[in-house]
Structure 1
Amino acid sequence: MNKVYIDGKSLTIEDVVNVARNDYKVELTKESQEKVIKARNIVDKFVDEEKTVYGITTGFGKFSDVVITKEETKTLQRNLIISHSCGVGECFEEEISRTIMLLRINNLAKGNSGIRLETLNNLIKMLNKGVHPLIPQKGSLGASGDLAPLSHMVLVMIGEGEAIYKGEKMSGIDALKKADIEPVELTSKEGLALINGTQVMTAVGALTVYDAVNLLKTADIAASLTMEALNGIVTAFDKKVHEVRSHQGQIDAAKNILNILNNSNMTTTQGEIRVQDAYTLRCTPQIHGASKDAIDYIKKKVEIEINAATDNPLIFPDTEEVISGGNFHGQPMALSFDFLAIALAEIANVSERRLERLVNPALGGLPAFLTKKGGLNSGFMIVQYSAAALVSENKVLAHPASVDSIPSSANQEDHVSMGTIAARKAREIMSNVRKVLAMEMLGAVQGIDLNDNKGLGIGTSIAYELIREKTKTIEEDTIMYKEINKCEDLIVSNIIVDKIEEKIGKLN
């Protein structure tokens, strides 16, 4: 059985993907179990002593000055969950629900939250047995963490809410019964420990970052196919050009494209047909490379966050301190995911401009709209329209969420991050980028056919054959969305990247 061991400090994005998509099971390390128990002992001590500590013996937010008695602690925690379950809109996909649970488990495993080990084990059982809470996408301000969506996760733990189990939607209590899991009765600090954190925004962002790495490789492949369709000049990708600027992403993009195009008979050199290409061809390494560098930065930030303690208050067992701070504030992720949105949007921007060069005879020299019988046939005319619409939509979505804030909890929480909105927008943009790249690739292979294919590069020949296994050269007008969807399916499956890497080595 494939398994990821949880210790609160060494989870990777690759681990996240394996749990989210490949059904890896999770298990707490012995060390993390001991830390959880040690922190819980501090909570129990303070409750027994009736010490005034935020979130343990007090209310929440503006009610932090309201003292809660020992007898009321269970009611307090249940009320917290049911009152905070205010998420709205469509629910997250199951893979994101799994990721949310995983990240919350890892956060709690650090031993700074004060949850009981049996409660944490309940969440682990849900993840391992495939009980996936239905978590609405909207309703989080990103500080105090992702309160509303995480509350929907906890609803199922206490036998409320709704879940998906084995592909079927049902009540939370029915899902638990079918999976042979007992609901939990939360006690002091536990409700707050489960919902006060950044795990929803980070879950969405982590999967998006992982997918973005592969999507940038696909963008290099798409650009390479367009280079061949337009007899692009490869001289501009000479490593000497990029090494004197020294940005690693730019160097990597240029290297990728040269390796993909190696042995091509469809590309040219400087002065052979023309002296230089337009920016969207010539500057591809600079444009793609900047996004690669951005994604590398964001990936590092996400890897910090998935191993961070982000709830409040935090418990430090060695000194028996409980400190109320602000690690739930999503600003580090909000800025990162806004950056991710912009970096991805630019990939669609340049891809659509390359598509325009393919369909515009004044720019690329190919038959107008990539059809031999223009007028009778529209060819790829409206494919470019659709790409342009997606690019324009991305520009709206790329507006930073993190520059906005709105006070909440009677101005006790007077600056919030909007980090979950930033993550969701970045994921929506990525979906649009995939579609634009699919349109470019479909147009590029059509252009290659119209330009009398004289032999493609080592990498592009693989991409071409995979696309042509699913699509045919378009001689007469056809229903285009079906062809676009076939190309997008190839991108989602990552088979083009995988097959090229098998042949020429890992792309950067």
Structure 2
Amino acid sequence: MKVFRYGIDKLTIGAAIGIAEGKIKGELNDVAKSNVLRGFSAIGEILKRDEAVYGVNTGFGVLCRTVISKEDTTRLQYNLLKSHACGIGKPVEPMVAKLMMIIKVHSLTLGYSGVSLDTIERIIWHIENDVIPVVPEKGSVGASGDLAPLAHLFLPLVGLGEVFYKGERKQALEVLKEHGLKPLRLHPKEGLALINGTQFISAFATFGAYRFARYLDAADIISAVSIEATKSSIKPFDYRLHDLRPYDGCRYVANRVRLLLEDSEIVRSHANCNKVQDPYSFRCIPQVHGAAREAFLQLKRTLDVELNSVTDNPVIIDKDTVISGGNFHGEPVALPLDYATLAASELGNISDRRVYLLLSGDDDVPKMLLRDVGINSGFMISQYLTAALASENKSLSFPASADSIPTSLGQEDHVSMGSIAARKFNAVLDNLSYILAVELLLSAQALEFRRPLRSTPLVEYVHDVVRERVSFAEEDRIFSEDINKVHRLIEDGAFIEQVNNSLKVDNSFKEKFSVY
């Protein structure tokens, strides 16, 4: 098993997902432990000097001028966890909560947060044993850290809150006792270090970016099947065209689709047809899919920094230097998240347009993709679904980061709403995945009306994978069942990976658009 060294190695989207899935082992080495102990001992030295340090021996937020006695500094940290656990709504997916812990551990082990080694080791225990805290999805404004969700995330450390364990939702204290563990006693600043940070935003962004990368690849592959099914031209994918407007995303998409359709019998069959141009949803695939990839790149670049940053407050530089700043502010991630949300929405928007055209039919392909329509409605209503999802995505694309509402009686007077941006991004991705599933289902159906002509081995492989799950439709049936089967195919991602591995695309491009 691969090993990731917390506080030492660079945490990427793929590495974070790998740790969460148990494919990569996260560990603390001696260097990371030394960094943690240095920061922890610095807090002890600072407290000896009897000076006011925000969140260590003062109140929180607008209460920062309220000095806390030495005797109450530990109680303060305990109270911070309890009072800030004000989240509501359904719990986030266990994968997201687990990513929150992984990202927090990596940040804390950089050694600038002043937490103890015991606290970090307990969080790692939760990760490795799949004891995942129950975290409500709503309550963060994405500045001063993701306070409410992080408070819920770390309540189990002190024996409070709930966890998901072995498929059940249980009281955290009950699970700790089951494993012979006692609640932790938090040291000065630890409660604040735990709840202050961007890990809720970052976890949702990481999970979303990982999914977005898969759907971007799927969109290219599925659009290639649709091109064949509609006998659309491959001339718009000529590299000479894209060298004249050399966006990396556009060039990469054009190259992928061109390779997917190289030496296709279907392409050759209409090489000399009278059609001059295809509708934009086919002709402009490189430009639209490519622009979405550029948005992914921006989010990836952002997470390359964010996942390897210290985002709590105050930051302990050394025993003589404590800086109270704003590294907890989610704006650097919120803006790219809103950009990625818009891009994902557009990817679904253009896919819906191709679904519409797949249903239009031509001399060989019947309208609604069934031979006997009238008595049968065929796949008509599947486009209603994609239209509904595409429209919903448009309404979700209003930028959350455009809003700010002052909190803490005005002390925290500008917030990012990045937590909302992160959740909306994943909601749009949920809809996008179903839009793509409908396009794949319909393009596979339409492709069979082109027989005996065959496409390329890769396109035929994709068609066969669909047919392993869903048979060719001769008459009306409950098509939502077919859509769900194809959706699971996309979520599994095995056929996407197989196609990607078979495409001889420039490795520099592959690495650029990889999650690693």
Shorter-chain TM band: over 0.9
8 Å contact 1:6–1:26 — kept in the other structure?
A: yes
Residues 189-208 of structure 1: matches in 2 within 5 Å? 189-208=189-208
Deviation track 1:442-492 (CA, whole Å, cap 9, x = no partner) reads: 000111112335111132111101001111111010110110011111100
Poorly superposed stretches of 4+, deviation over 6 Å:
none
Instruction: Output the CA distance in 2 between the equivalents of 1:134 and 1:4.
Output: 25
Match of 1:217 in 2: 217
Match of 1:410 in 2: 409
Instruction: Output the CA distance in 2 between the equivalents of 1:287 and 1:225.
Output: 17
Match of 1:281 in 2: 282
Instruction: Output the CA distance in 1 between the equivalents of 2:320 and 2:29.
Output: 23
8 Å contact 2:256–2:503 — kept in the other structure?
A: no
Match of 2:118 in 1: 118
Task: Report the alpha carbon displacement of residue 502 of structure 1 after superposing the two structures with TM.
Answer: 3.7
Match of 2:399 in 1: 400
Task: Report the alpha carbon displacement of residue 437 of structure 1 after superposing the two structures with TM.
Answer: 0.5
Task: Report the alpha carbon displacement of residue 47 of structure 1 after superposing the two structures with TM.
Answer: 1.5
Task: Report the alpha carbon displacement of residue 310 of structure 1 after superposing the two structures with TM.
Answer: 0.2
TM-score of the aligned structures, taking structure 2 as reference length: 0.95
Match of 1:246 in 2: 246
8 Å contact 1:227–1:281 — kept in the other structure?
A: yes
Task: Report the alpha carbon displacement of residue 311 of structure 1 after superposing the two structures with TM.
Answer: 0.2
Deviation track 1:325-371 (CA, whole Å, cap 9, x = no partner) reads: 00000001100110110111111000000010011247x97311111
Change (3 A) 1:350 1:453: farther
What is the one-letter code of the residue matched to 1:446?
Answer: Q
Instruction: Output the CA distance in 2 between the equivalents of 1:345 and 1:338.
Output: 11
Identity of aligned residues (%): 38
Instruction: Output the CA distance in 2 between the equivalents of 1:60 and 1:232.
Output: 62
8 Å contact 2:218–2:490 — kept in the other structure?
A: yes
Residues 310-321 of structure 1: matches in 2 within 5 Å? 310-317=311-318, 320-321=320-321
Instruction: Output the CA distance in 1 between the equivalents of 2:163 and 2:398.
Output: 33
8 Å contact 1:234–1:270 — kept in the other structure?
A: no
What is the one-letter code of the residue matched to 1:374?
Answer: V
Task: Report the alpha carbon displacement of residue 270 of structure 1 after superposing the two structures with TM.
Answer: 6.2
Deviation track 1:213-240 (CA, whole Å, cap 9, x = no partner) reads: 1211100111101101111111111110
Match of 1:11 in 2: 11
What is the one-letter code of the residue matched to 1:294?
Answer: A
Change (3 A) 1:311 1:81: same
8 Å contact 1:146–1:420 — kept in the other structure?
A: yes
> Do structure 1's residue 455 and structure 2's residue 476 form an aligned pair?
no
Counterpart secondary structure, 1:90: strand
Match of 2:310 in 1: 309
Deviates more, 1:7-16 or 1:217-226: 7-16
Counterpart secondary structure, 2:170: strand
8 Å contact 2:364–2:449 — kept in the other structure?
A: no
Match of 1:435 in 2: 434
Instruction: Output the CA distance in 1 between the equivalents of 2:307 and 2:177.
Output: 30
Counterpart secondary structure, 1:53: coil
Task: Report the alpha carbon displacement of residue 302 of structure 1 after superposing the two structures with TM.
Answer: 0.7
Instruction: Output the CA distance in 2 between the equivalents of 1:62 and 1:331.
Output: 21
Change (3 A) 1:194 1:449: same
Instruction: Output the CA distance in 2 between the equivalents of 1:286 and 1:270.
Output: 23
Task: Report the alpha carbon displacement of residue 199 of structure 1 after superposing the two structures with TM.
Answer: 0.4
Match of 2:356 in 1: 356
Instruction: Output the CA distance in 2 between the equivalents of 1:426 and 1:170.
Output: 29
Counterpart secondary structure, 1:185: coil
Deviation track 1:271-318 (CA, whole Å, cap 9, x = no partner) reads: 52411111111110011001111101210101110000000000001x
- RMSD after superposition: 1.5
Instruction: Output the CA distance in 1 between the equivalents of 2:78 and 2:35.
Output: 25
Counterpart secondary structure, 1:65: coil
Instruction: Output the CA distance in 2 between the equivalents of 1:117 and 1:242.
Output: 53
Task: Report the alpha carbon displacement of residue 54 of structure 1 after superposing the two structures with TM.
Answer: 0.7
Structure 2 gaps, min length 5: none
Task: Report the alpha carbon displacement of residue 23 of structure 1 after superposing the two structures with TM.
Answer: 5.1
Match of 1:31 in 2: 31
Task: Report the alpha carbon displacement of residue 8 of structure 1 after superposing the two structures with TM.
Answer: 5.3
Residues 5-84 of structure 1: matches in 2 within 5 Å? 5-7=5-7, 10-22=10-22, 24-84=24-84
Change (3 A) 1:23 1:182: farther
Deviates more, 1:125-134 or 1:480-489: 125-134
Match of 2:104 in 1: 104
8 Å contact 1:313–1:322 — kept in the other structure?
A: yes
> Do structure 1's residue 293 and structure 2's residue 294 form an aligned pair?
yes
Q: How many pairs align?
A: 506
Deviation track 1:354-403 (CA, whole Å, cap 9, x = no partner) reads: 010011247x9731111111110010100000000000000011110000
Instruction: Output the CA distance in 1 between the equivalents of 2:432 and 2:43.
Output: 48
Instruction: Output the CA distance in 2 between the equivalents of 1:300 and 1:365.
Output: 46
Instruction: Output the CA distance in 1 between the equivalents of 2:174 and 2:342.
Output: 42
> Do structure 1's residue 144 and structure 2's residue 139 form an aligned pair?
no
Deviates more, 1:22-31 or 1:117-126: 22-31
Instruction: Output the CA distance in 2 between the equivalents of 1:504 and 1:410.
Output: 56
Instruction: Output the CA distance in 2 between the equivalents of 1:252 and 1:2.
Output: 30
Match of 1:164 in 2: 164
8 Å contact 1:5–1:27 — kept in the other structure?
A: yes
Match of 1:87 in 2: 87
8 Å contact 2:46–2:320 — kept in the other structure?
A: no
Counterpart secondary structure, 1:137: strand
Structure 1 gaps, min length 5: none
Match of 2:491 in 1: 492
